[in-house]
Amino acid sequence: VIVTHNMQQATRISDKTGFFLHGEVIEFDETEKLFSMPANKKTEDYITGRFG
């Protein structure tokens, strides 16, 4: 388990990724899928820089 705010690091070293917001798991999936087609709008907003 690694915790990082660095999205590039997460994509390089992980098989699965979880996105947490205010202590709640928003989304957990295969890293490639989460970053290319997030299922949750909050996840998409974070990884595209709309907030955070």
Question: Quick one: which H or E segment has residue 28?
Answer: strand 24-30
Rounded CA gap, 24 and 14, in Å?
A: 20
Phi, psi of 39 (to 5 degrees): -85, -20
Q: How confident is the model at residue 5 (pLDDT cuts 50, 70, 90)?
A: confident
Q: What is the pTM of this model?
A: 0.86
pLDDT digits (tens, 9 = 90+) for 13-47: 999 999 999 999 999 999 999 999 999 999 999 99
Q: What is the mean pLDDT of residues 1-12?
A: 90
The number of helices, as runs of H, and strands, as runs of E, in the chain is 3, 2
Residue 1 structure tokens: 């388990």
Rounded CA gap, 36 and 21, in Å?
A: 19
pLDDT computed for residue 1 by the predictor: 87
